[in-house]
A and B are shown apart, each in its own frame.
Chain A
Amino acid sequence: MATTTTNRQQAGPRAATAPEPGRPKHSPYPYWFYAPAAVIYGVLFIIPTLLAFYFSLTRWSIFESKFIGFGNYVTFFKEPALVSGLWHTLVYAVITSGAKVVLGMLLAVLLTSQIVARGWLRSVVFFPVLVSTIGVGLTFTVLMNPETGLINDALGAIGIHGPGWLTNPKLALFSVALVDIWKGVGLATLIYIAGIVSIPHEYFEAAKVDGAGSWDSFRRIILPLARPATVTVIILSLIGGLRSFDLIWAMTRGGPGFTSDVIASVIYKQYQAGFYGLSTAGNVVLFLVVTAIIFPLNRFLNRKEVEL
């Protein structure tokens, strides 16, 4: 900032036609550049978000809304199917994000080491990120078919009786999470690769001179210095996990029963059933959950980074 102001003062006398150096009336960076984006964003994101807090307190149908106080929230937290949706959301987000951190890190270390066909491996791991979630979900629904699916066929061939991945109520949520990890681990790997590649090579050489093995250089160099990448992966995949809807909807529609329902699918189901107020209350719960997790976590992780 300081350098630019001095530059401007130096340029002042030369540019005789330019406005006086005091404070230019017409900034070259006009505020109206914000306007079109602000209108779209304000009308379609900020206003609905604020309205949600009001509408969540109403009994709301297509034509009218009637203020009923916290009735929707009471319903939400009394209904076991809805509360379990909240719980599933947290489990799903933590599992997918944790697995992406660990697997992404391991894959990134592997894919930056000296192995053959590195480029091919990177492409193959990353490609599912770009593919339609619906396509992936439908494909894995077929692959996870308990009787005829490829996964259980393969397990059967080596003598394991495969479970009903999506039909077993205890397993359905985890099976979907597994597919989420399959689809998303490529992005985590890529972020970690970018982090590892930016570590100066001298560190590894110096460590080698000191007699450090590969485990030491992983623990003492890669792990701490790839920390910004870890923060990014955790935050990104937690946000994605808490909001995830399409994969779950494509694979189980929240079933069997309500055993793989998450908040986002509860919101959709209540909306479809015409309970707009209840649906919006679910939406507000989702806001609060996301805010309560992401903002403190972001602050915590970034503060730790400064201390290091």
Chain B
Amino acid sequence: MTTATAPAPPATAAPPIRSHKPRPNYWLSIIAIVVSFVVFVIPFLFILLTALKTRQDAADLSFTWPKQFQFVQNFTAVLQARDYLLIIAYINSIILTVCSVAILVVLASMVAYVLQRRRSRWNGLINFFVLAGLIMPPAVVPTIWVLQKIGLFRTMPGLILVEVAFGMSFCVLLFRAFISSIPKELDEAAIIDGAGSTRLFFRVVFPLLRSVVITVILTQSVAIFNDFVNPLYFLPGDANATLQLTIFNFYSQFTTQYNLLFMDILLITIPPLLMYIFFNRQIVAGMTSGAVKG
């Protein structure tokens, strides 16, 4: 650092300190807003506008105002396609997301709690496994083989367990970081009051994890709801297809009906949009804390 030269220009540098909050840079702001609009907003507007167009209007793929709004008709056409497959897929995706996230929250917080509180010679090994789960890509075909052996291949419970297994590491890290901020004295007080270990965790500690539980729920639901690869491998077939898979299959079917394709895409974009509008702050906090500590 150049601290040695510090005392040299104090007189001239004095005025800038006084301007505590500098004026916003309007030119830069305008450029940033325009560029962000073109790069990030227009693709989403394109989805929205195309989803509202008629078939002929959508066919030339241009970024224009719809000549004729056709929301209801496109919407019902998409829902009715292939015997209401989209609705089934929505239900499947919601079941998958809710069950996986619920199991993840309970199991990962239990692991993180003991891992953070109890020092033992297993900690090194467990930390290694947690890290491995974060870094290593899963072995796909052997996982299918194992699922087949235990009779869970092509079943929703099988896919739920797979999502739990693959998401475990990230959740354990989030929980562990948070639990380390809860004073151990609290546990001791509860033990003195006669709480058993199960009651201690579920009645005393777990309620204190509220904020990190919300973080885990939000980040994991986004990840699992948007997951494409695992349903593709572990739950093939239309009967219990999830949303991402269904949309992907619609693509080949709707190549001549772009209005319907984009109505589909719009429908899978809405859940994350709603979540983002309502939980903006928690999602952002969760993503960064998890990332920085992980």
- Name A's B-contacting residues (CB within 8 A): 1, 4, 7-8, 11, 14-15, 17-18, 26-31, 33-34, 36-38, 40-41, 43-49, 51-52, 55, 60, 110, 113-117, 120-121, 123-135, 138-140, 142-143, 145, 148-150, 153, 182, 187, 190-191, 193-195, 205, 208-211, 220, 228-229, 232, 236, 239, 242-243, 245-246, 249-250, 264, 267-268, 271, 276, 279-280, 283-284, 286-287, 290-291, 294-295
Contacts and interface: CB of A to CB of B under 8 A. Distances in A.
A209 B291 contact: no
Given A113-B25, A142-B261, A229-B292, 11 more contacts: A29-B114, A33-B201, A55-B145, A114-B24, A117-B33, A134-B268, A135-B247, A145-B61, A153-B62, A190-B284, A280-B141
Shortest 4 CB-CB distances between A and B: which pairs?
A52-B139, A48-B142, A44-B165, A116-B29
Contacts of B134: 239
Contact of B22 (A51, A114, A220, A267): A114
A108 to B, nearest CB: 11
B156 to A, nearest CB: 15
Contacts of A114: 21-25
A29 B197 contact: yes
Contact of A41 (B1, B41, B60, B165): B165
Nearest to B22: A114
Given A124-B36, A149-B61, A246-B228, A131 B145 contact: no
B137 A139 contact: no
Contacts of A138: 247-248, 251, 261, 265
A31 B166 CA distance: 21
Contacts of B63: 150, 153
Contacts of B265: 132, 135, 138-139
B33 to A, nearest CB: 6
B217 to A, nearest CB: 14
Q: Which one of B6, B61, B63, B187 has the highest number of Cβ atoms from chain A below 10 Å of its Cβ?
A: B61
18 contacts: A11-B188, A27-B197, A29-B114, A40-B164, A114-B24, A130-B283, A131-B226, A132-B247, A135-B269, A139-B46, A142-B258, A150-B61, A191-B292, A239-B135, A264-B137, A280-B140, A286-B137, A287-B136
A143 B232 CA distance: 25
A205, A211, A284, A287: most-surrounded residue (chain B CB, <10 A): A211
B118 A29 contact: yes
A236 B247 contact: no
A274 to B, nearest CB: 11
B203 interface: no
Given A28-B197, A40-B168, A130-B222, A34 B114 contact: yes
B142 to A, nearest CB: 4
Contacts of A40: 107, 161, 164-165, 168
B85 to A, nearest CB: 15
Contacts of A246: 228-229, 244
A243 B268 CA distance: 23
Contact of A18 (B5, B139, B192, B288): B192
Given A133-B228, A190-B288, A194-B288, A36 B107 contact: yes
B141 A279 contact: yes
A124 B273 CA distance: 11
B278 interface: no
Given A11-B192, A130-B276, A229-B292, A49 B136 contact: yes
A34 B136 contact: no
A264 B140 CA distance: 10
Contacts of A36: 107, 110
B191 A41 contact: no
A46 B287 CA distance: 26
Nearest to B232: A268
Nearest to A44: B165
A100 to B, nearest CB: 12
B9 to A, nearest CB: 5
Interface in B27-79: 28-29, 32-33, 36-37, 39-44, 46-47, 60-63
Given A129-B287, A150-B63, A52 B17 contact: no
Contacts of A268: 140, 232-233
Contacts of A195: 292
Interface in B90-111: 107-108, 110-111
A208 B287 CA distance: 32
A66 to B, nearest CB: 15
A139 B24 contact: no
A205 B17 contact: yes
A45 B138 contact: yes
Contacts of B24: 114-116
Interface in B147-195: 147, 150, 161-162, 164-166, 168, 172, 184-185, 187-188, 191-192, 194
